[in-house]
Structure 1
Amino acid sequence: MDWSDRHCRYFWRLLSENAVLYTEMVTTGAIIHGDRERFLRFHPTEQPLALQLGGSDANALAECAALAEQWGYNEINLNCGCPSDRVQNGRIGACLMAEPELVRDCMSAMIERVKIPVTIKHRIGIDDMDDYDGLIKFVDTVAQSGCNTFIIHARKAWLQGLSPKQNRDIPPLDYELVARIKRERPHLEIIINGGITHLEQCETLLQEVDGVMLGREIYANPYLLAGVDQAIYGSNKPKPSRRQIMEQFMPYLEAELARGTRLNQMTRHILGLYQGLPGARQFRRIISEQAHKKGAGLEVVSRALAAVESGRSALPHCQ
């Protein structure tokens, strides 16, 4: 939430033509009662694109799914994995794993309402739920709705005692548990998530499951996404350089600035593009210090690019 907005996703799409992108989690209430344009608008180039919903009212979820289909989304995804107190209080996210029948009914309502795929993202368990028995019961119950795609974060969520940040790091990863689900339910599409940091790891995991989802690593080190089309999808196109990506992003920045979008709303998503390279610190510093100022424009990005190019001048073969 608050990260993979439309500006972020447009930037990511410049890195990969094939990866399926997911929106930030949007609650049903925000769509039904809030600024629909803000929450559902996207650029056509973002597709294939899934709308990730948060909610537990079957009728509201079905209404939002229908709206998403009308807006042109390719998939609806129900979030049953977020462990934050804020969403728990709204009966949203990982706490729903304790109510598999309710989740099944919510999924059924959406599946009956739309023609596009409806998928689910969840954890391997919550709190004292027995790891495998609890997980397989949840999956089997939800599958009764007709849902065929399960995106499984391979960590438990402890809803009491751990913060959302701690829930992303402290509970141990159990990839084998997710692989076991695939072996025992081969008719289901099983996608694994959690702690994946490089493409070689993706290729290894894809020998046991159907798909891999990356989140935080792509945000922190977005250039990793630039190799996905070649490594995972078999594309023969050359991997784009960081400079090429920025040259493609600049017209988007210019157009959005003309619409009144503030520069920092867009450039906050590109801070990790040069991660690990000489000049990366200067790139981040210039954007972080200048992009939020009133009237900041493309000159800030140009200065940041000049700084990173200067820092890398001794390494002419770097991309």
Structure 2
Amino acid sequence: MTEVNLTAPNAGSVASSRGEDHPWRLSVAPMMDWTDRHCRYFHRLLSPHARLYTEMVTAAALVHGNRLHLLEHNQEEHPVALQLGGSEPDELAQAARHGAEAGYDEINLNVGCPSDRVQSGRFGACLMLEPKRVADCVRAMRETVSVPVTVKCRIGVDDQDSEADLQRFTECMVDAGVEILIVHARKAWLQGLSPKENREVPPLDYGRVYRLREAFPQLSIIINGGIVDVDATVTHLQHVDGVMLGRAAYQHPWILAELDARLWGTPLPDRVELLRRMRPYAEAEMARGGQLKHIVRHMLGLFHGAPGARRFRRVLSEGVHRPEADWALVEKAISALGPMRQDAA
């Protein structure tokens, strides 16, 4: 079982200084192969307030590749941030400019991904070992764009994981002008653990993130890692400025609606009605050559915990790969739920 450290000096006395108006109060993490534009459109229906993030895009791909494809998003997604991966200041500055020109509300630098592919490109979590280079990258981007430039990092890397190491890294970020730091409350092992294991094996240390917020009151600290329910989110918000959800928001997306209701008083929608609000989007995407399977895969967990959820998933999973699959399949899956009371929806 993963060890979770919640200790912090004067725990409970560190409250967000921005409260309900903080733009980063709730966000959904950038997740490779998961948070594509179809997912973000769906998440926006669930939460009018959450800040959404793209999958990581490498700066090189954005500078030299198909920018129209890589930067495509819907106006309904806003506020939405573009996450970049890279380690060359000039290249990142160019990529940030393209992102800002495309209308993204924030440029985020990935300093937390531990995968071998990312390490071989000299970006991601390995950059925590080079805080001055990260600072140079941030400065170059900030000099190029007017939207916020933020950093997402870990609490440490390999054996460089003391509280002093994290504070030195954070000092470099502050010197570079960073105002928003998103901290995954686990260290990253660059050798010996897979990306999946890096999300589960290193113990969570929320207390270290809380103390970072105390040590740098001028910074907005957003906490990420292992946060899976509404009550935990509310607890974290007593200590930091915002909470970023990862897999919980994807696997059990209804939590976004529940959090929007808890944090902003938004009325809880009916789950079936909300799902049907995806129909115009899905049909428009299919009309331009898209496939239903690429859209509905993000919706499989919508009814998690509700009666008929397993039947709903089975109907979609078994039928969505057929060439003729269209919105009628979603309606069939809705019918498989059986009668749902409003309070269960």
Question: Normalising TM by the smaller chain, what interval?
Answer: over 0.9
CA distance in structure 1 between the partners assigned to 2:96 and 2:104 by the alignment: 9
Q: Do structure 1's residue 283 and structure 2's residue 312 form an aligned pair?
A: yes
Match for residue 23 of structure 1 among 42, 48, 54: 54
Residue 165 (structure 2) aligns with: 134
Query: Which amino acid in 1 is paired with 2:157?
Result: I
Residue 209 (structure 1) aligns with: 240
Residue 267 (structure 2) aligns with: 238
CA distance in structure 2 between the partners assigned to 1:241 and 1:131 by the alignment: 46
Change (3 A) 1:101 1:298: same
Matches within 5 A, 1:63-102: 63-102=94-133
Match for residue 165 of structure 1 among 171, 196, 206: 196
CA distance in structure 1 between the partners assigned to 2:342 and 2:212 by the alignment: 47
Q: Do structure 1's residue 227 and structure 2's residue 253 form an aligned pair?
A: no
Residue 134 (structure 2) aligns with: 103
Residue 279 (structure 2) aligns with: 250
CA distance in structure 1 between the partners assigned to 2:161 and 2:342 by the alignment: 54
Query: Could you list the runs of 5+ residues in structure 1 that have no partner in the other structure?
Result: none
CA distance in structure 2 between the partners assigned to 1:207 and 1:228 by the alignment: 15
Query: Which amino acid in 2 is paired with 1:45?
Result: E
Q: Do structure 1's residue 57 and structure 2's residue 96 form an aligned pair?
A: no
Please, which moves more after superposition, 291-300 or 158-167?
291-300
CA distance in structure 2 between the partners assigned to 1:99 and 1:164 by the alignment: 20
Q: How many residues align?
A: 314
Q: Do structure 1's residue 305 and structure 2's residue 331 form an aligned pair?
A: no
For each residue in 1:31-82, what CA deviation from the matched residue of structure 2 results, as whole angstroms up to 9, or x when unmatched?
1222212210110010000000111111111001111111111000001011
CA distance in structure 2 between the partners assigned to 1:143 and 1:281 by the alignment: 48
Displacement of 1:277 in angstroms is 1.9
Matches within 5 A, 1:32-47: 32-47=63-78
Q: Say which structure is richer in helix.
A: 1
Residue 6 (structure 2) aligns with: none
Residue 79 (structure 2) aligns with: 48
The alignment partner of 1:126 has SS state of coil
Are 1:19 and 1:228, in contact at CA under 8 Å, matched by a contact in 2? no
Q: Do structure 1's residue 273 and structure 2's residue 299 form an aligned pair?
A: no
The list of structure 1 runs, each at least 4 consecutive aligned residues, that deviate by more than 4 angstroms after superposition, is none
Are 2:183 and 2:209, in contact at CA under 8 Å, matched by a contact in 1? yes
Residue 344 (structure 2) aligns with: 318
Matches within 5 A, 1:105-124: 105-124=136-155
Query: Which amino acid in 2 is paired with 1:256?
Result: E
Query: Which amino acid in 1 is paired with 2:76?
Result: T
Residue 175 (structure 2) aligns with: 144
Are 2:152 and 2:181, in contact at CA under 8 Å, matched by a contact in 1? yes
Displacement of 1:130 in angstroms is 3.4
Query: Which amino acid in 2 is paired with 1:301?
Result: V
Are 2:85 and 2:124, in contact at CA under 8 Å, matched by a contact in 1? yes
Change (3 A) 1:103 1:276: same
CA distance in structure 2 between the partners assigned to 1:195 and 1:177 by the alignment: 15
Residue 198 (structure 1) aligns with: 229
Query: Could you list the runs of 5+ residues in structure 2 that have no partner in the other structure?
Result: 1-31
Are 1:52 and 1:79, in contact at CA under 8 Å, matched by a contact in 2? yes
Displacement of 1:295 in angstroms is 2.8
Displacement of 1:140 in angstroms is 0.5
Tell me the percent identity.
Answer: 52
Q: Do structure 1's residue 2 and structure 2's residue 43 form an aligned pair?
A: no
Are 2:161 and 2:187, in contact at CA under 8 Å, matched by a contact in 1? no
Displacement of 1:296 in angstroms is 1.4
CA distance in structure 1 between the partners assigned to 2:220 and 2:342 by the alignment: 43
Please, which moves more after superposition, 262-271 or 278-287?
278-287
Query: Which amino acid in 1 is paired with 2:46?
Result: L
Displacement of 1:202 in angstroms is 1.1
Are 1:286 and 1:303, in contact at CA under 8 Å, matched by a contact in 2? yes
Task: Indicate the RMSD between aligned Cα atoms, in angstroms.
Answer: 1.1
Are 1:254 and 1:298, in contact at CA under 8 Å, matched by a contact in 2? yes
CA distance in structure 2 between the partners assigned to 1:116 and 1:314 by the alignment: 44
CA distance in structure 2 between the partners assigned to 1:11 and 1:218 by the alignment: 11
